With several copies, the nearest count.
Chain A
Amino acid sequence: MNTSTTTAAERADFRASLRDFLSDTSPESRVREVIASESGLDEATWRGLASDLGVAGLLIPEEFGGQGMGMAEMAVALEEAARAIAVVPLLASGVLATIAIQLADDASANADLLPGLANGSEIMTVALLDGGGVTTTARDENGWSVYGSKTAVLNANIAQRILVVASTPTGTGLFLVDAKASGLVITPQNSLDLTRPTALVTFEGVAATRIGSEFSESLNALNAFGRIAVSAELLGMSEKLMEVAVEYAKTRVQFGKPIGAFQAIKHRCSEMFAHVESMRAAVGSAALVDPTDSVGLHEQALVVKAYCARFAPWVAEATIQVHGGIGFTWEHCAHLYLRRVKTDEILFGDALTCRYQLQQLLGLTA
């Protein structure tokens, strides 16, 4: 992936075209349909995003069929897709799998895998979080095998292949397995987020291809990009929720006035706005960081995630509070966002975890 080179105006145009597209193909009614079907994929929206708008391949070099863009452009796409709570595997496939493969720095894997990801014809996900015990690997004359389990694997139910971060005898490696491989079991979880199903994936000696060599430093970078990506989603959702709350505050009348005239509501909306603007500044800044500056990337990613993971849930909760009872119903959109916000809060470390890592960077703790 490259450093972003587009101008702010170009990114604004890109955002406008995405918003137009998503408001057509992924209105809330469509999201609810897809959720109810439990497929976990809005195929039309994904096809449009991936092929027509080139979003799946944003981070992939042009030689592999991608757009050759960077995180600043992908942040726009993530914000907009999350704003529309689109039921698509953009984070899992377009960001995490795409970046993991490139970080592994394996020329033949790039050539083999990136083109399918770039046009969205293949969906992949990355199994990162150990689901109890360490995920390990063994190697014999037939090649590598993976053992263990991974939890909270995003969109595992629709991925054709799964990238697995697992320990090796000498360190950490990135491995590719087929989702239908023998010994691999995908158990859907009762996920909080209804728009992005997670699964427990267990590996009982699953045949795997190793990609690149030692992956531990790359894993740090992958986590940093993951933090920036979910922060962009948190920004997109927070902005939308704030707009919904402000609109409701303008129109809902109680005690003879629109409730937005009451300071308790007005100030809550103003604080939402301040948090959204802060998230916008933070995501905008982090997405523009030089991807090869590992120290700067790490720090900015922790800062932006620590901020967004703390305040996006606040915005989502405040939105429900502004709405009163109606915000607590299944029919209102607030909970769809709240569920995804709380999930993004946890992915790649919650605010407390990110702050702890910042303390280490700052010399506040050993």
Chain B
Amino acid sequence: MEALLAELREFLTKEFPAWRAKWQDSDTWEAKLDWQRTMAGGRWTTATWPEEFGGRGLGTMEMLAIEDVVAQYGAPQIPGMIGVKNVAPTLMRFGNEEQRKSVARIANTDEFWCQGFSEPGAGSDLASLRTRAVIDGDDFVINGQKVWTSNGMYATHMQLLARTDIDAPKHKGISAIVVPINTPGLEVRPIKQINGGAEFAEVFFTDVRVPVANLIGPLNEGWNVTMTTLGHERAGVAVFAGRLEQRIRNLIEDVSKKDTPVSPVLSDGLAEHYVESRVLGMMGRQMLAKIADGVAPGSESSVIKMVWSELSQRVDTTVMELAGVDGITGDDNAAKSGYLTARSATIAAGTSDIVKNIIGDRVLGLPRD
């Protein structure tokens, strides 16, 4: 591990200032893509990929350590996270030979992927999706609509989930299909959010034709293919837990340095956040240690997701409270936009209600409604 991190530090010490010099203060998409290419060149974004795919074959603990070091250097997060973390592992496991060629292109941003999962009629209820893909000769003909597609505005390709057998029960009859974004009949529209940003898109399909060869994995098995991908996402919550813990430490340090002390009630509230985030961090580290020991994580990821989303939302509310008048005038713009953005924490990637259903049904074995 030490050698690895030393190599990383050497890499960053050389490459990060060079990148900064090239792009200055630019916060543009091109600058971020260039950083991803730089990191991919050092096999750092793909460190957990198997070596045959250009990765380093590392485990989650090492990846976490790598992310920590990167954060210390103040380098930006790579923009193509969904492709690198979710799509590429799916293609490695389920993709055909042609599809697997995308893996390397995902790493260096020659391809930029999004995932077409959520639909207007199936927000938290992923299994009831209605976008259809009908086989017509050698093609799928796709009609329907996706919503909340992260990075939809920038993507070159989509990993689409569409219904290929309408008679099968909800979780069955769904297939995963590669759809190039420039396919005729496909239209992408940005979704403006309450914080003014547009990180998501709606995607409309009108008689979109792609070859049947674009199927990922077996026909009608898209649910399993997807769950594999989501499984990767779930392990990531442990990383989120650690980041939230650190964020609260930083917040408390900032508050403690203020000239005028905050109210004892707010101060106690910060201590409450601290306690919960410390415990969340302990849970996250224990989950990562389990993964590192080769034990498949059980219910921890759902619990961490539930606690994380509610706590992180409360922290942003507290930051807004601490800002007081400066929050509503925008003089403390970070507090204001953080508060608005945090409204999605208990909604995105499964609402808190759904996560509680999952824990109740699958973990505790309570009767389904």
Interface residues, chain A, with chain B CB atoms under 8 Å away:
129, 151-152, 189-193, 198, 200, 246, 249-250, 253-258, 260-267, 269-271, 273-274, 277-279, 281-282, 284-285, 303-304, 306-307, 310, 317, 320-321, 324-332, 334-335, 338, 342-343, 346-347, 350-352, 354-356, 358-359, 362-365
Contact = CB atoms under 8 A, between A and B. Distances in A.
Contact of B329 (A151, A277, A334): A151
Interface stretch (B92-100, B156-164, B226-234, B257-265): B257-265
A281 B286 contact: yes
A269 B366 contact: yes
B346 to A, nearest CB: 6
A363 B340 CA distance: 29
B263 A352 contact: yes
A328 to B, nearest CB: 5
Contacts of B140: none
B208 interface: no
Given A253-B121, A254-B123, A362-B274, A263 B369 contact: yes
Tell which of B320, B325, B348 has the most Cβ of chain A within 10 Å: B325
Tell which of A192, A317, A320, A347 has the most Cβ of chain B within 10 Å: A192
Contacts of A271: 356
Given A329-B191, A352-B265, A263 B353 contact: yes
Nearest to B352: A321
Given A274-B303, A352-B263, A263 B357 contact: yes
Contact of B283 (A200, A277, A304, A365): A277
Interface stretch (B8-16, B104-112, B178-186, B330-338): B330-338
B365 interface: yes
Contacts of B193: 328-330
Tell which of A250, A257, A355 has the most Cβ of chain B within 10 Å: A355
Interface string B300-335: 100100110000000000001100110111110100
Contacts of A267: 353, 356-357, 360
B306 to A, nearest CB: 6
B60 interface: no
Contacts of B148: 325
B266 interface: yes
A343 B327 CA distance: 9
Interface in B218-269: 252-253, 255-256, 261-268
Contacts of B252: 362-364
B232 to A, nearest CB: 22
Nearest to A198: B329
A321 B348 CA distance: 10
B279 A281 contact: yes
A192 B123 contact: no
B359 interface: yes
A302 to B, nearest CB: 8
B340 A335 contact: yes
Given A277-B283, A303-B278, A364-B252, A193 B328 contact: yes
